[in-house]
Structure 1
């Protein structure tokens, strides 16, 4: 449940009559603040000795303003958004750079070209599913992944949202080195919303003057949480955002991840489209980050973490808007999400590495390829019970002929059996799969290209 945070008080009256030495001492302490608290949280804390809560806020605000840097992007009143490179933000950005770009040390599963596509496809699917669920898509992970892997047509609007998101993520991968332009943003939105809008003509089109603007409302109190800029401003604002995303505006250097985060923020703030703004914002975050060489983020699904804590995501927006456009709140939240997602990626890859080692031991001597080994691994873990050429091909990014050959070879080995479902051939593990695998590993050697 999200409600509008309490409005910060005007800081300047609270400074009247304060000893300058007290102010200077408090400002030095604020400069080193570990927590970048909004007024709504700071007012519940015990202030430094000799200060009221209001005075503490005023001194903290002064310290932040002294450090703040303006962005070449403005709110709807024409005031520039700004940010502070606090210690916490600098630490977070440095950690993301160290772990997500350049020649970072990663498990063989990601660096090995034979296996990386499988994990990349899985990550793209995860991001497509959870980004859509953040905006209301209702379906299970299992059903959604089955749809994406088999390539079957979506059966509901929720499934269509997920399928569209998957296509959009692939589109960004293919165009990562292209400029981000208003027409490309509209194209991404059109892909994301195809077949999901009440008005199909609204896909890829900015909201028009005269249309009811799409805002953000509180579910609990029915109060407006955010009213976006007028539709008349949208073309100019989107052009400015694209220039910013491509690094063509602003003075001084801006950290690439911070640029990607601010791009994400602005799409949510401006609300260019009638629906799908959140999905578009998250897709553009990936585009900007990948464009700047943060290749590991292809394997990270940030939307799953945002989905699990939607109120924190919303408050990061609201705190920025209520505190004079200070994007630091949103940046700190987003960096924490990225770091957690990278942590979980490493944990996931460690588990998968252990699973793969078990599978390799079980199939040692058979000579089957890594795609077939992944099927064996899935069956042994109990997570895979049904395969088609389409689902196997989608999981490993190979053509149908290659996928079908993989499955038929496993059938020839007596590990899978097949049957027809309409026009489709389906493979399933044989009864006594473990015993058959044990027999094969002792007595057979098969060479497969």
Structure 2
């Protein structure tokens, strides 16, 4: 990837303009968008400008339109320049769609169904985010091994497994760690949980960085340095500003949309890089915390890291567009809201698919009854999983964690399926019971 070209300075743009130019720009009524997009200079210079304008005058018009509606933030870059953002129509539209789809505004049947069975989906979501967020930072354990470790509650055996386990614990405990208000100590504790047992220098765990040898390089190109964070001596003050921003209450003249505030928490942790390692995971965890705190309960089921991992260069570029254009965080806000919307779309598709599968399987399993009752939804979910992965095994502990139920309930579920011949029971070691799908499980279900 390439670093975006820095736009011409305002002085250079004003020198390009003539006395007749500015009135002409006013008459054209050019807004902050170009071709319907919030373009950076690096993209704009390749587009055809409006008739009668060159690229620099066109960019000047956009800069003036954006500055009129810009909102300043309490954050500053390394040179002391203030960060800001605007609310162009594409961003407003994204925020509205997230409001509707992320649970703040009461949804339809999908939301009701998800709330009714949230334990099962929440644990799957936490596992997904834990794995992909850690993989973004270098964890290399296969998904199946990592998922089995988390569902069974097994202790991590490798560095990669430890990273994933830590991320799972942090996501599970984040509300307890951060409580109702955010303090610098909470952020540091969150980083400690995320990095414990994974760093070369143990002293970097649970501590602000004490050096300035940090360089953020391009994905798959360690020679291209994209960002050098602020001096370590500034971190204590900058972290306090971050916490004050998270705890601020909005008055009529200082309202910041909650999603904007959550994304900016993520952005500033990435920009400041207050820790030697774990900054990306810490920033994303704070995003989840603030969204949940503000009532966006559905975001707890999202895995934004899964989408970011598919296009890491776009994630890095969103930072670069902001840094090269006078601290305009609108680029990052647009990118992140689009990521959230993709996550919501994937979640709703997943939910609809699971509902269809559950209905189809329930129809097949309706006749399979014990002497007392039909199979419950947890048992049918396990059987659906067993049909997809016939080589996988289940334990009472993994079933308990997957559905957030009591040990006795999980035990009864598995023993009931074994009694019907759908699972085969065996011992793993001396005491631990393991249940495998019966070799003829599909035939038994098909015969229903």
Alignment TM class, shorter chain as reference: over 0.9
Q: Which residue of 1 aligns with 2:242?
A: 241
Single out whichever of 374-383 and 271-280 deviates more from structure 2. Answer: 374-383
1:410 aligned to which of 417, 431, 434: 417
Q: Distance in 2 between matches of 1:308 and 1:18?
A: 48
> Please, which runs of 5 or more residues in structure 1 have no aligned partner?
442-449
Alpha-carbon distance, 1:170 to partner: 0.3
Q: Which residue of 2 aligns with 1:431?
A: 439
Contact in 1 for aligned 2:418/2:425 (Cα 8 Å):
yes
Q: Distance in 1 between matches of 2:155 and 2:33?
A: 55
Q: Which residue of 1 aligns with 2:352?
A: 350
Q: Distance in 1 between matches of 2:377 and 2:177?
A: 29
Q: CA RMSD in A?
A: 1.9
Could you tell me the TM-score, scaled by structure 2's length? Answer: 0.92
> Please, which runs of 5 or more residues in structure 2 have no aligned partner?
none
1:111 aligned to which of 115, 119, 122: 115
Q: Which residue of 2 aligns with 1:216?
A: 216
Contact in 2 for aligned 1:72/1:249 (Cα 8 Å):
no
Instruction: Confirm whether residue 134 of structure 1 aligns to residue 136 of structure 2.
Output: yes
Q: 1:187 to 1:29 in 2, by over 3 A?
A: closer
Determine helix, strand or coil for the equivalent of 1:28: coil
Determine helix, strand or coil for the equivalent of 2:394: coil
Determine helix, strand or coil for the equivalent of 1:72: strand
Q: For 1:308-387, what aligned pairs fall within 5 Å after superposition?
A: 308-365=310-367, 366=369, 367-382=374-389, 385-387=392-394
Contact in 2 for aligned 1:207/1:213 (Cα 8 Å):
no
Alpha-carbon distance, 1:50 to partner: 0.8
Q: Which residue of 2 aligns with 1:162?
A: 164
Q: Distance in 2 between matches of 1:383 and 1:264?
A: 40
Q: Which residue of 2 aligns with 1:273?
A: 275
Q: How many residues align?
A: 435
Q: Distance in 2 between matches of 1:48 and 1:274?
A: 47
Q: Distance in 2 between matches of 1:368 and 1:411?
A: 12
Alpha-carbon distance, 1:221 to partner: 6.7
Q: Distance in 2 between matches of 1:252 and 1:413?
A: 62
Q: Which residue of 2 aligns with 1:446?
A: none
Alpha-carbon distance, 1:246 to partner: 1.7
Single out whichever of 385-394 and 339-348 deviates more from structure 2. Answer: 385-394
2:305 aligned to which of 293, 303, 306: 303
Q: For 1:160-239, what aligned pairs fall within 5 Å after superposition?
A: 160-174=162-176, 178-208=180-210, 211-218=211-218, 219-220=220-221, 222-239=223-240
Q: 1:248 to 1:205 in 2, by over 3 A?
A: farther
Q: For 1:83-94, what aligned pairs fall within 5 Å after superposition?
A: 83-94=85-96
Determine helix, strand or coil for the equivalent of 1:35: coil
Q: Distance in 2 between matches of 1:25 and 1:159?
A: 61
